[in-house]
Amino acid sequence: MVLSEPRVMAKHIEPGMRVALPVDYAGVSMAMTQPIIERGAGDLDLVCVPTGGLQVDQLVGAGLVRSVETSAVSLGEAGGAPRFNAAVKEGAVRLKDATCPAIHAGLMAAQKGSPFMPLRGLIGTDLLRHRDDWRVVDNPLADGGDPIVLIPAIKPDVTIFHVPMADRFGNVWIGRRRELAAMAYASHIVLVTVERVVEENLLADEMSAAGVLPALYVTAVARAPKGAWPYGLWGEYPADSAEIARYAKAARTADGFSAYMARAQMEPA
Amino acid sequence: MAEVLPREVLICTIARLLDGVRHVAVGASSPIPAAGAMLLRAMKQAGGAVGPRISILGSVEHNFFTNGSAELFDCAGQGRIDAFFLGGGQIDGAGNVNLVGAGEYPRSSVRWPGSFGSAYLYFVVPRVILFREEHTPRVFVEKVDFISAPGVSPEGVFRSGGPIALLTGKGLFRFDKTRPGFELESVHPGHDLAEIKEATGFRFAHDAEPRHTALPDRSTLDLLRGRVFDELAETYPEFAAQMRRDLVAVDA
């Protein structure tokens, strides 16, 4: 494998692509955010797996996002996602409000090459009422009745995440964050940033192999130390909640957001 | 008996509502429900039992899952999660929950984070406890602006779970899915029925003179202020520290 770098990887992103991003504690590649913004490919349809935060807010704030499919967007303890919330109010992004297991079900369908996955719940919600891509059918295996919702396969063009390590063969270590594998299986392009690249083959040892996403599913890997910052990375470092709070405050206005993003401190402290 | 803090009343009430569960899941940033679950476990273990399994979302310490963030929902779908907590920007008298926003959808005048797993978990977790400390007509409305998760479902719709109670900073309500609606079960110390009626935007059943919420006994309080706050501090350090500061202030 030839190691890439974030700015080169961002060139995979074309206008109008569907981009899957992980939940804030699973390994968000914050290191890719600025390169994606510099790349400037707009009209992106984001899929949050299953919720979004800082990265989604920044991509929305940068004006690159056409729609957001998500179960929630927030900055956690730091409160609401300011640029996302402002865009919702202005009607500047199209919302595809979902519920966490529906996002997982859509990815699972794609993983199996199936057109849809049935899911309990949802009937009687306004989520379902506003989703013309979700269908209700009667359970064909029951004697009659028993309505159930079908969630269509979610097939992102690109998946982007950050994990502790890759080996020099392009295998990446995802540990027990299996949603990262689900996203990768479902996606055409998979861009991964890592804390470090190791010499040994991660598939050679059964203990590490169990937590590996094989190179088969990985398009490119780049090294980005502290690449999840200011989010934390499991097993590596905690979230920098003071920095997230600083962003939350700055991004309350469009000008504050621009000033924050222009600062050189987009790199980890 | 030492004075009991309002939040201690809430935590002890949650422990009571959870009695008998095998596995309770708690959302991220929910220190009071987490404390209630931990208190129940501590009480059970003090009595020689194993106590419930507690899964706290987003916590490394209290996370048994190895299959990513989908596993909690799969686990609930399999019937392996007995209790869960839901809040809500709005909750109405029919038990409907709105986590999406106030006003006309999709351009909500106030946008909240979103529905999270509620549109699924409310259907499949047998004992969902609605918990919202703020008890105002802004939160407890006649009818929610957006249904993230409905309180009840029509006959024929698969539903193995749903709300059993609503706990607020002022009182405890039971949910009756046959009406459907809430019934005031008890009023917390320092509050009364007239105040609760004033603060609640939906109609609810109640006795002419509703009971007071039971206060914890000495041994329960000791467990809470000792072991439980210690355990809680691992996941919610700021909340545990604040509770301890409040206790010192009460004693002073």
Tell me whether residue B71 is in a domain: yes
Same domain? A74 vs A197: yes
Same domain? A186 vs A205: yes
Same domain? A18 vs A148: no
Identify from B66, B69, B155 which residue to disrupt to test chain A contact, counting A C-beta atoms within 10 A and taking the largest count. B69
Each residue's pLDDT tens digit, A109-162: 999 999 999 999 999 999 999 999 999 999 999 999 999 999 999 999 999 999
User: Under a CB-based contact definition with an 8 Å cutoff, are residues B184 and B205 in contact?
Assistant: yes
Tell me whether residue A172 is in a domain: yes
Q: Tell me whether residues A51 and B114 touch, CB distance under 8 A.
A: yes
Same domain? A146 vs A182: no
Tell me whether residue B103 is in a domain: yes
Choose among A257, A85, A43: nearest CA to B107: A85
Partner residue opposite A122 with nearest CB, options B67, B107, B120: B120
Same domain? A61 vs A132: no
Tell me whether residue B68 is in a domain: yes
Same domain? A65 vs A143: no
Mean pLDDT calculated for residue range B167-185: 97
Same domain? A130 vs A169: no
Tell me whether residue A133 is in a domain: yes
The domain in which residue B78 lies consists of 6-251
The answer on pLDDT for B252 being more than 90 is no
Identify from A46, A84, A97, A107 which residue to disrupt to test chain B contact, counting B C-beta atoms within 10 A and taking the largest count. A97
Same domain? A171 vs A202: yes
Q: Tell me whether residues B117 and A100 touch, CB distance under 8 A.
A: yes
Residue B29 with chain A: CB contacts under 8 Å: 76-77
Tell me whether residue B1 is in a domain: no
Tell me whether residue A237 is in a domain: yes
- CATH code for the domain of A86: 3.40.1080.10
Same domain? A75 vs A168: yes
Mean pLDDT calculated for residue range B158-163: 98
The answer on pLDDT for B98 being more than 80 is yes
d(CA B165, CA A161): 39
**Number of domains chain B contains:** 1
Tell me whether residue B69 is in a domain: yes
Partner residue opposite A73 with nearest CB, options B74, B107, B113: B113
The domain in which residue A129 lies consists of 120-152
The domain boundary, picked from A129, A152, A175, lies at A152
> What pLDDT is attached to residue A169?
97
**Number of domains chain A contains:** 2
Searching chain A, which residue's CA lies closest to the CA of residue B116? A71
Q: Which of residues 140-179 of B touch A (CB under 8 A)?
A: 146-150, 153-154, 156-158
Same domain? A159 vs A37: yes
DSSP for B2-66 reads ----HHHHHHHHHHHHTTT-SEEEE-TT-HHHHHHHHHHHHHHHHTTS---EEEETT-STT----
> What pLDDT is attached to residue B59?
73
Question: What is the least distance, in Å, from the CA of B157 to any CA of chain A?
Answer: 6
Tell me whether residue B172 is in a domain: yes
Residue A74 with chain B: CB contacts under 8 Å: 113-114
Searching chain B, which residue's CA lies closest to the CA of residue A57? B113
Question: What is the least distance, in Å, from the CA of B143 to any CA of chain A?
Answer: 13
The answer on pLDDT for A267 being more than 60 is no
User: Under a CB-based contact definition with an 8 Å cutoff, are residues A51 and B114 in contact?
Assistant: yes
Mean pLDDT calculated for residue range B157-181: 97
Tell me whether residue A229 is in a domain: yes
ipTM (interface predicted TM): 0.95
Each residue's pLDDT tens digit, A235-246: 999 999 999 999
In whole angstroms, how large is the CA radius of gyration of chain A?
Answer: 19
- DSSP-derived letter for residue B81 is -
With vertex at residue A46, the alpha carbon angle to CA A41 and CA A52, rounded to the nearest 5 degrees, is: 125
Q: Which residues pair with A26 in a beta bridge?
A: none
Written as six digits, the tokens of A229 are: 């910052």
- CATH code for the domain of B119: 3.40.1080.10
Least confident of A2-6, A113-117, A236-240, B54-58: B54-58
Helix (H, G, I), strand (E, B) or coil at B53: strand
Tell me whether residue A107 is in a domain: no
- DSSP-derived letter for residue A231 is S
d(CA A59, CA A63): 7
Tell me whether residue A111 is in a domain: no
Tell me whether residue A64 is in a domain: yes
Tell me whether residue A28 is in a domain: yes
Same domain? A145 vs A162: no
The domain boundary, picked from A137, A152, A167, lies at A152
Question: What is the least distance, in Å, from the CA of B60 to any CA of chain A?
Answer: 8
Q: How confident is the model at residue B237 (pLDDT cuts 50, 70, 90)?
A: confident
Per the omega criterion (within 30 degrees of 0), is the bond before A82 cis?
no
> What pLDDT is attached to residue A206?
95
Partner residue opposite B119 with nearest CB, options A49, A51, A99: A99
Q: Give CB contacts under 8 A, 24+ apart, made by A262-266.
A: A266/A33, A266/A34
Tell me whether residue B10 is in a domain: yes
